[in-house]
Each structure stands twice: as structure tokens, then as C-alpha cells.
Amino acid sequence: EAGVTQSPTHLIKTRGQQVTLRCSPISGHTSVYWYQQALGLGLQFLLWYDEGEERNRGNFPPRFSGRQFPNYSSELNVNALELEDSALYLCASSYFREGNTQYFGPGTRLTVL
């Protein structure tokens, strides 16, 4: 069974640009979570999507947004990039019957210059 996949692996952008990150969950998982892991700040919860709806978001500005598609894949969009957005962005998926075990993808490394 394929795990969670994310694309692209690496991305370099400049300040003010916009970026879209993509995530495909494990087959059968309906929930997708996005986390940011920035140097020195640890893993921070960004967004949670379930059944196509945004269920919760972390303490991030509105320029961080996303969506979940009918096939449960998800996009994370970041507008007006700032230098401090440089981080590893991790996507995870889960199936509610497994408690809250989340399965993570390999991440997208975003560098903002």
C-alpha cells in the first residue's frame, strides 16, 4: 500500500511569491493534516481537512490556505511568501477508526530567498 506522497520535494521561491504544495493521502484516509517544521520552532499545526471541509486551523495568518479535493488529496497554498516561511512542510493523513494515528509524507522543503 502506498504511503502519503507529497510534491514537490524541494522548492525555492523569492519573497512575495506564491506557492502550492500537494499531498496525496493513504488510500481510504479521509483526513489530511498540514504541519510546518521551521528551524527552531518545532512542528506546528497548520490545517486539518476532512471530507473536503476545513475542520481546524492553527495559529497562522490567512495567507496560508488550502483545500481538499473529492479524492481526498489536498493542496496547501501560501501567498505573499516571507523569509520566515522557509520550512519543511509535512502532510499527514489518518482514518478515524485508528484513533488519531497520523501517517506522514516525506515533506516539501520550501526555501524563501
Partner 1 sequence: SQQGEEDPQALSIQEGENATMNCSYKTSINNLQWYRQNSGRGLVHLILIRSNEREKHSGRLRVTLDTSKKSSSLLITASRAADTASYFCATAGSARQLTFGSGTQLTVLP
> Binding residues for partner 1, per CB under 8 A?
4, 31, 33, 35, 37, 42-45, 48, 50, 55-56, 58-59, 88, 90, 92, 94, 99-107, 109
Cis peptide before 8 (omega within 30 of 0): yes
Among residues 4 and 21, whose Cβ is nearest to partner 1? 4
Query: Closest distance between partner 1 and the C-beta of residue 66, in Å?
Result: 14
Among residues 67 and 88, whose Cβ is nearest to partner 1? 88
Among residues 73 and 104, whose Cβ is nearest to partner 1? 104
Q: How far is CA 94 from CA 27, 46, 56, in A?
A: 10, 16, 15
Query: Closest distance between partner 1 and the C-beta of residue 107, in Å?
Result: 5
State the residue for C-alpha cell 524563501: 112
DSSP tag of 83:
G
Among residues 70 and 101, whose Cβ is nearest to partner 1? 101
Query: Closest distance between partner 1 and the C-beta of residue 36, in Å?
Result: 11
In 1-113 the beta strands, taken as DSSP E runs, fall at 5-7, 10-13, 19-24, 31-38, 42-50, 53-57, 64-68, 74-78, 87-94, 103-104, 108-112
